[in-house]
Structure 1
Amino acid sequence: MKKWPLVVCSLFLASSITACSSKGTETKPASGDAKAGDTIKIGGVFSASGSASSLGKPEMDTIKMMADKVNAEGGINGRKIEVVAYDDKSDQNEAVIAVKKLIEQDKVVAVIGGTISGNSLAMIPQVEKSKIPYISLAASKKVNKPVKKYVFKTAQGDDVVVPRVVEYLKANKLTKVAWLGVDNPFGSSGEEEFVALAKTAGIEIVSREVFEATVNDAKPMLTRVKQANPQAVVIWGTAQESAVVTKNVRELGMKMPIVESHGIANNKFIELAGPAANGVILPAGRLLVADQIPADSKQKSILDSYNKLFTEKHSYSPGTFGGHAWDAFEILTNALKTAGDDPEKIVAAIEGTKEFIGVTGTFNMSAQDHNGLKSDSLAIIEIKDGKWTLKEN
């Protein structure tokens, strides 16, 4: 991993939702010294601008939307939620500054966020030191493995996603593949998992390349990949950089199947990649294809209600990333109902999350598993005619 740049000395403005305290209620909070009617402060750090904004903006918008909804329904045990949310601008330094401010100045009871893996990993030392419950929205398995007492995660990790990719490649007899990964913690963590599982599955990696998150021309790298003559190309990145690489693959006349990560699971990828997106295969949560999954699916009503609530309030689709924020908010607020402001009780309550049907999947957390998802939380999706299409449920 590269060294982080020097921490800059600027703080950024908080975007917060503050509701007036309810009056006349006799409902008491579950625990802690706060009295019924005051607020519960929840912190958020999201990449609402910068290179990961297509992931972070729907996350921030979802948290604010859900806080409004809960407050309109009376809050938690008579207490309104106040969200203090910062935009880290897709920068690790900004993420570290933001989480420090949330804990030391804003005095939040818990933090949700860390849109991308590098930012989440950079925030963890601060939350562990301060013993503040933290629910990450990033994918790297290093966020939650090994288990860290105060750190949880709602996105599927590499250890959940990569097995689904390997299973798909093997089932389709694509046994000679090229691995192209973004040069950051998300890409390196995925590569580590893929290399280990591919060997066991009898898949040969004929070419391994990395590209920068700021890539604007991957053709020199892809010329080497083309010479290796893979049966399929695996591209591991998020929407912006993966779209560049995907377009370049097709521009070089490489016609083999392209399999990508769940990091491209929002409409920004299709917009940026254009016609080159057609035919791309990826594992992702079912929100993208909610209208195509069986009516008797246990997630169906959750997906439909979240989609409806979000799109009625905003002029764009939340992608799968807004869903990670929905899950984090619901899991945290469920814990707050019984734990109050006590961080140890919040941690214990989150670890007690069982058979929670969320947007991302069904969560079963424990003291040994702070993610709680399995590979069955993923569908195989294909992009056809610029639209997400369910290939394997």
Structure 2
Amino acid sequence: MKRTQRIAFGILISLGICRAALAEDDIKIGGLLETSGFIASLGQPALEGAQLAVDQVNAAGGIKGRKVSLVNVNTESDNTKSVSALKRLTTQENVVAIIGPSSSGSNFAIADAVERAKVPMIGIGATRGIVMPTDRRKYVFLVPLTDVVVEGVMLKDMKKRGITKIAMLHSDVAFGTSASDSLEKLVKDEGITLVDNESFGNGDTDMTPQLTKIRGTDAQATVIWATGPGLAIATRNYRALGIKGPLYLTHAANDFNFLRLAGDSANGVLLPSSKIYVANELPDSDPQKKVLTSFSAAYQAKYGHLPATFAGNGYDAAMLLMDAIRTAGDKPDAIRNAVENVKDYVGVTARYTYGPQDHFGTRAESVEMLTVEQGKFKLAH
């Protein structure tokens, strides 16, 4: 090899080493967000929100001069693929923390593996059981409004309206069954009777039989708890049957995709929700208002459309993890400890306070009851 060739080769090798060193110096956060499959309408906005958070931190100089990279593996709304994706992130990508999937079922599927890997994960599944019991879920946290929190707010709204008897229809996946279990316990504390509790298959295309049975009871209101197309189908079936009384929906209904699929049937529903769609209606004294309006403006500037509530979940998860890294360093155990010690963090979806016995984080004051008027979310009165 000629001397000039040796020099050129050496320069290329040096550049490669420098690039590798720079890449290795990045702080890598993993994502398990579903951009295809059944839960893609939740996972895609969550990924967009998380990426926005990372971009903002990097634009401000990163974390103590180090850039943050988000490595997302599309789990395709599949529990088995979620397990494989988690293994890739922890053993090949060597991420220091993870933003978990939107599907409650996928969060349940990987929770034990997260504990074995000892890498902190903030999941976006909205089922409280994902982090229970906390002595066996030390590395798993949540950012969405969880089923127990929103059901509590929903039941108080029912009491305010004089409702004492209700019926429920829920999907048979983890998100629906967990909410059913918790509602059956919570109604007793509020003096409300659950007179009927029906379920349907997550892939069912007609819930008329179950809703016909509910129509035959003395329920004064009905609760439907599901995600994806099934929620919209059940809502349309409910309206087609002419069932009287208020229709309450899960917080998963605070989604533009639900409005599109349910059409006019969505008008008049009641649902517990984050404040993202009604930020301009909030009083200036609400600590989330400024955060919400700033986030919404930045999101629209980046993606060209309004953020769904799930985008706020992804954004909050990423910001909480990056704040923990800024405070405690990039070792997974230190990140876990820092997240567990978060107190009154004001996010997009909620205000968060965690603790050794509380990996749910969200507080009831983060929830508003919404309704739908002419295809748009509004504060309920």
TM-score by length of 2: 0.91
Partner AA of 1:120 in structure 2: N
Superposition pairs of residues 1-393 of structure 1, within 5 angstroms: 38-147=25-134, 148-391=137-380
SS in 1 for 2:86: helix
Structure 1 CA distance, aligned partners of 2:233 and 2:23? Answer: 52
On the 8 A contact 1:166/1:194 being kept in 2, the answer is no
SS in 2 for 1:46: coil
1:51 Cα offset (Å): 1.6
1:36 Cα offset (Å): 11
The range that moved more, 273-282 or 96-105, is 96-105
Structure 2 CA distance, aligned partners of 1:79 and 1:196? Answer: 47
Structure 2 CA distance, aligned partners of 1:93 and 1:317? Answer: 32
Structure 2 CA distance, aligned partners of 1:186 and 1:273? Answer: 20
On the 8 A contact 2:235/2:266 being kept in 1, the answer is yes
Q: CA RMSD in A?
A: 1.9
| Compared CA separation, residues 215 and 315, structure 1 to 2 (3 A) | farther
Query: After superposition, what is the alpha-carbon deviation per residue over 1:27-66, rounded to whole angstroms, capped at 9, x for unaligned?
Result: xxxxxxx999920111000122112111111001111222
1:216 Cα offset (Å): 1.3
1:247 Cα offset (Å): 0.3
1:90 Cα offset (Å): 1.1
1:83 Cα offset (Å): 1.1
Query: After superposition, what is the alpha-carbon deviation per residue over 1:172-222, rounded to whole angstroms, capped at 9, x for unaligned?
Result: 111121100111111111111111111232222222111122221111221
Partner AA of 2:258 in structure 1: F
On the 8 A contact 1:113/1:120 being kept in 2, the answer is yes
% same residue: 37
On the 8 A contact 2:273/2:370 being kept in 1, the answer is yes
Structure 2 CA distance, aligned partners of 1:124 and 1:370? Answer: 13
| Compared CA separation, residues 381 and 239, structure 1 to 2 (3 A) | farther
Q: Match for residue 28 of structure 1? A: none
Query: After superposition, what is the alpha-carbon deviation per residue over 1:47-104, rounded to whole angstroms, capped at 9, x for unaligned?
Result: 2211211111100111122222222221111111111101111111111111111111
- Aligned residue pairs, count: 362
SS in 2 for 1:323: helix
Structure 2 CA distance, aligned partners of 1:375 and 1:137? Answer: 17
SS in 2 for 1:228: coil
SS in 1 for 2:73: strand
Provide structure 2 residue ranges, at least 5 long, that are not aligned to the other structure: 1-14
Structure 2 CA distance, aligned partners of 1:235 and 1:101? Answer: 36
Structure 1 CA distance, aligned partners of 2:94 and 2:23? Answer: 18
Q: Match for residue 3 of structure 1? A: none
Partner AA of 1:166 in structure 2: L
Larger radius of gyration: 2
On the 8 A contact 1:336/1:346 being kept in 2, the answer is yes
1:121 Cα offset (Å): 0.9
Provide structure 1 residue ranges, at least 5 long, that are not aligned to the other structure: 1-19, 24-33
Structure 1 CA distance, aligned partners of 2:23 and 2:78? Answer: 38
Q: Match for residue 29 of structure 1? A: none
Query: After superposition, what is the alpha-carbon deviation per residue over 1:224-261, rounded to whole angstroms, capped at 9, x for unaligned?
Result: 11112421110011242111000001111113210011
The range that moved more, 185-194 or 216-225, is 216-225
1:125 Cα offset (Å): 1.2
